[in-house]
Chain A
């Protein structure tokens, strides 16, 4: 059923065989083709904006980071190495880091937590992940994240999406620094273990 209108159809855009792949567009981008950048922008703008908004929670700033991310892609496309990971993850990581840089220059707002499992527009992901042949990657990550104790998940979320350091998190949650370090370390170790297990079952997740 459609997430957007409730009808029995889908708004998911299926990329036709004639649609250039991300890699083809990146190659064109590296050759200085502005249309390739605009095509990638059309494909990814919602997700890049989503990441920027997730960090900054403010429309104007999120728009700015979104556009900076694509201009960075324009100038630094040569630094993307397909052998090291998916383009989607690479691009969105650039967006997240740019957003955190902006966030660190501002007065911190009250972080919104527990958003790992809240998505009102999953079809926006479906479009991109289907084209990337990584439909089950997000589900796998959600599933292993769900296995974490909430306090470990929260510490990871504060660091990851709000750029908080150990000390920032300790001050924000009003708990000892050592406790924060322990939560992050143990949480990430569990995630890694679960991730490695999933990879052993489905090696395609890492491609």
Chain B
């Protein structure tokens, strides 16, 4: 892919992300952080691609480790965020 397009996507994403996340109230900062943390595990896609195309055995083994690490990040991250958000309850119906 064209390098300048990749840089453009990077800049747009940073700015858009900045604008989107500025609206998140401090109440949800922890779930936001752990949810974003799960997103950073998207590197699993890169790990899959490099492992699939790796030739040497040691590269394959390293790649498998990368996939495992990234998957722990993704699955654990979304799961814990889910559990946290499940605890945030509104009290209005009690009143």
Specify whether A and B are partners: no
B residues sitting closer than 8 Å to A (CB atoms) are none
